[in-house]
Every structure is written in C-alpha cells, then in structure tokens.
Structure 1
Amino acid sequence: MRTANVLVLLAVVLTCASATVISRGGRKIFGGRAVTVEAVTSPAVHAEGPHWQAPFLFYVDISSNSLQRLDTTSGNVTKWTIPPGDAAVTLAVPLEGAPGRILVTRGLELVEFDTESGQVVASFGFADQGKPGNRFNDGKADPAGRLWAGTMGPEDPGVGVTPGQGALYLLEQDGPSAKVSPVDISNGLAWNSAKSTMYYVDTGTGRVDAFDFNVTTAAIENRRTVIDFGAQNVSCTPDGMAIDAEDLLWVACWSGWKVLRVDPSQGQVVSEVSLPVQYTTSVAWGGDNLDDLYVSTSKRDLTPEQQQQQPDAGSVFRVSGLGVTGLPGQSVSRSNLVAKRNI
C-alpha cells in the first residue's frame, strides 16, 4: 500500500457574477471551502476512464494496455493486462449482475473481460473498419445500460491526432453503430438526472456539446454547444466528464492543472478545483455517499524534469469535502449485448 500524498486546497464555489483566481501548487485560491486532494494510487503512465463500483474504483492505463482496480478499503491496486497485451485498453465499464466481468476495449474491439480468470471471454465487435491506425478512447453506459464509446484517429507523438477520423458509437445488438461522425478525439459523456440530455466532449473541438436524448430508443438529436473553451478563454482542453446531483458537469481539464465545474444551463464555468499535476484526464463520483470525486491523471507527455516536479502525475486523486454529491456511474446491461464471437 502506498502512503498517499495529501494536499489541502480550496475549491471555489462561484456564481456567474463573481470572479476568482485559481492556481496550482501553493498559490492562493480565493473564495470557497477547504477540500482535500489526495493521491490514492501510485502513478500510471496515462490513467483514464475511472468508474466506481463500491468498494472498487476501476480505471485503465492506456499506455500499459491494462485494466486496474483500486480497493478503496485497503488501498491495494490490482492490475490486469488484457490479452494478448498489444492493444490499447481505454475504457472499463462493469457488466450489470455479473461480478468480475468488465466490458473493456482492446484497440478497436469491444470485449468482455473476466477478472477472475484474467481472460477475454467474448467479443462484441469492432469499430472504424478500414482504419487500423485508429483506436477506441472514452466510453460510458447510458441510463438504460447501453454502452456508448468513441474512437480517435492515429496519434503522432509531437504532432497530435489526425483530425476527423473517429466516431461516437452505440453498442447495439449487431455490434457498434456510429451515431456521431466525424470526430477528432471522442471523450467525455454524461447524462442528466431526467435522462433527457446527453453531454458529449469531442476534445478536438474544444467544446462540451449537448444532445436531446431519448432513453427508450437511444436516439440523439438537436446537437448544440454548451460551452466553448476557446471562446471563453479557458486555458485547457476538455477531456473526461461526470455530472453531479445538481446536473452540473465536472470536466477534466487537459493541460490545465484542474477540474472545472460547468453549469450547462448558463454555459459557464462556475467553479474549479486545482490539482498538483498538469494533465487531468477524467473524473468519476464515488464513495459511500457519492461525494468523493476521483480524478485520473497522466504523466505521458511530461519531460523527465517535469515528472520530477510532478511526482504524483499519473496517479488517481480523490477530492473530498466538496459539499456536492454525484450521480452514480451506470453498468452495462447484458440485455443490450449479443456476443459476435465467443473466445
């Protein structure tokens, strides 16, 4: 078990009319309550996709092609490399009513992984046929237990991702079906408490968008922008996302040292929580009362000097004391799945 580093910071609770100064490290944060920011895992290279299933937090390390599970009662982390170990693992969502079974990605394939045997036991098909340089990225289950998962184009270190090569997929009975395209980097997903709106991040656009959502049919329509980071001079790009019980969004701020709370009805950032690492990748609510915010982070793009300055980069952090509760993460319903092949 790793001894966690704990930082006491201030979370800012704003109104749209108020102003605030938020910064990383030891600099002051004005206006708000004290919260605890704690690194609860050792650093991965590129941690992503946290999902709470009490008492565990599942997440992935994309760079090591692995699924990881934090036992929040003991602090122990269990790691599985998804066979054959040579394809990116980018999301992990538990299967409802099937202890130990997780739906994960393996490159461009959606598969069922058994944590007891350490084996892939079924495949639910492939995305982006004819685009072998692509891979899956983020994904979540909607309120009816259907999996939505998006892809992205080839990534050239130092250059970036080839734009417009990905799509957002819905896993249906016949396999993954593209619902939004073209997409640059498919990322955060969230649904409001009324189950009537789906929020979506395509990181390449720098926006959080919304769709009208039909929970019965999974139909989406009327796409519109909730917030444009560039237009509002937000100094980062949006990544993974979660939603709280007040229907406000919590957005990981890639290269921004923080997580943002966004009011989608106003299209404004209303609060921020700073972290001691540059690259926050995604967020999920957890804890007994869903009042802990788990934040995954990355050290992949840091120089060796920057990694020394940010020793906890790549860790999963727990933020507590926010005074906010979240909506629970949804498991995937097996009734929505038909295996394309058994393995």
Structure 2
Amino acid sequence: MYSLNNNLQVEKKVSHVNTSNGIAWSPDDTYLYFIDTPTKKVVRFHYDIHTGVISNPTDVIIFPENEGLPDGMTIDVEGCLWIAHWGGSKITRWNPLTGEQILSIPIPALYVTSCTFGGPNLTDLYITTARTRMTDAELKQYPHAGGIFRIQMNVKGCPTYSFRHETIGAETL
C-alpha cells in the first residue's frame, strides 16, 4: 500500500500486499482500516493525521469461511465498517472494536465489489457489483449482476476525503 503526500512524493506504507481493496479511516481519524482481499481480514493501523504515519497493525475482523472474500469497504459515523463480499452476495456491517458482524444485507449479485455512502444526507448506501467470470447458470441465478444498487439506511456515512494540494486545486467533496 502506498501513500501520496502533500509534496507529491510516493511512500510505501505496507509491503507484501496481494490485492489491495478496502480502505477507510475512523470518524476521528485515529485509525486506518485496510483489506488485502486474499488474507480474508481487516487490519487496523494507528494513524497520525498530521504525519501520515501508520503503526501497530492489528487484525480486527477475520472473514468467516463460505461467505466470500472481503472486497471494498466504507465506514459510517458510528465507526462501523461496511464490507462487500466478493463471491458472497452481500454487504455486511461490522463493529471493528469487537470484530462482531452486526448486520448482513443480501444483494442479488454474486460478486459484490464495493460500497459507499452518498445522497444529500449520506444515508444512501451505494453498492457496486461485477458480472465477470460468471457461468451461464450463475448469470441466470443473478441476472442483476454488474448492477449498481442503492439502499436507504438509518445510519449516516462518513464524508469522503479529497486530496489537497495547492497546485492541483482539489476541493472537498
């Protein structure tokens, strides 16, 4: 995993990553959560927002067998992680402090790829899916594969971050 700092310098943060997917920061910016899909876990790092230094990696969620692989991820204002299940046909909500799965939402697609909050109040959960490498039988079972779904939630998502650099002129989303 790499970071691009304000001086436009690239810095390696984590070595030996296979498939970098989900990444999220805690609402108070003290933790960074990261998914390397084949490991089937979410790792939490202490995060220093002023320096960008990450430290103390800790496995906080171990993905259950037979539920697919952890793919994309987002976080809500309560600090809970929402994780897409590649090959698992669902989105799940987790408490990263306890490692407990709180909620499971079935999605009518085999390969659920990512999720993010949006809408005027950040209460719409947008979910992306894939249609790749599916057999004819799977396509028949999951005709909505490859679609984008929206679910109205009772919890608000955290706003996204934008890169800030004086010569690029990026604005907050």
- Pick the aligned partner of 1:324 from 118, 131, 155: 155
Q: Aligned AA for 1:267? A: G
Query: Which residue of structure 2 lines up, in the alignment, with residue 294 of structure 1?
Result: 126
Match of 1:171 in 2: 4
Q: Could you tell me which residue of structure 2 aligns to residue 212 of structure 1? A: 46
Map 1:149-188 onto structure 2 (within 5 A): 168-172=1-5, 173-188=7-22
For residue 328 of structure 1, report the CA deviation from its aligned partner. 1.0
Letter matched to residue 253 of structure 1? H
Q: What's the CA shift for 1:308?
A: 3.0
- The aligned residue for residue 241 of structure 1 is 73
Which whole-Å CA distance do the structure 2 matches of 1:258 and 1:174 have between them? 37
Cα deviations across residues 251-307 of structure 1 (Å, max 9, x unaligned)?
Answer: 001111100101001111111111111110011000111000000100102113322
Q: Which residue of 1 aligns with 2:165?
A: 334
Q: CA 1:175/1:221 → structure 2, altered by over 3 Å: closer, same or farther?
A: same
Q: 3-state SS of the aligned residue for 2:49?
A: coil
What is the one-letter code of the residue matched to 1:218?
G
Return the alpha-carbon distance in structure 1 between the equivalents of residues 167 and 74 of structure 2: 23
2:98 corresponds in structure 1 to 266
SS in 2 for 1:305: helix
Structure 1: state its 5+ residue gaps: 1-167, 338-343
What TM-score, normalized to structure 2? Answer: 0.91
1:236 shift after superposition: 1.5
Give 1:181's aligned amino acid. Answer: S
Percent of counterpart pairs with the same letter?
A: 37
Could you give the per-residue CA deviations for residues 161-219 of structure 1, whole angstroms, max 9, x where no partner exists? xxxxxxx0101335422110110101100011111000000101110010000000000
- Residue 118 of structure 2 aligns with an amino acid whose one-letter code is G
Are 1:194 and 2:28 matched, yes or no? Answer: yes
Q: Quick one: structure 1 residues 240 and 174, their matched pair in 2 at CA, closer, same or farther if it must change by over 3 Å?
A: same
Cα offsets for 1:204-247 (capped at 9, x unmatched): 11100100000000000000001111xx4462111110000110
Name 2:171's counterpart in structure 1: none
* Letter aligned with residue 272 of structure 1: S
How many Å apart are 1:335 and its aligned residue? Answer: 3.7
**Other structure's SS at 1:181 match:** coil
The 3 A distance-change label for structure 1 pair 297 and 246 is same
SS of the residue corresponding to residue 240 of structure 1 reads: strand
Partner AA of 2:163 in structure 1: V
* TM-score, with structure 1 as normaliser: 0.47
Alpha-carbon displacement from aligned partner over 1:17-37 (angstroms, at most 9, x marks no partner): xxxxxxxxxxxxxxxxxxxxx
Q: Distance between the aligned counterparts of 1:336 and 1:218, measured in 2?
A: 20
Give the unaligned 5+ runs of structure 2. Answer: 169-173
CA distance in 2, matches of 1:190, 1:248: 10
1:1-343 alignment, distance < 5 Å: 168-172=1-5, 173-229=7-63, 232-233=64-65, 235-320=67-152, 322-335=153-166
Whole-Å Cα distance in 1 between the matches of residues 154 and 76 of structure 2? 11
Q: 3-state SS of the aligned residue for 1:262?
A: strand
**SS of residue in 2 equivalent to 1:183:** coil
Distance 2:78 2:53 in 1: 24
Q: Secondary structure in 2 aligned to 1:223? A: strand
Number of residue pairs the alignment of both structures matches? 167
Q: Secondary structure at the match of 2:57?
A: strand
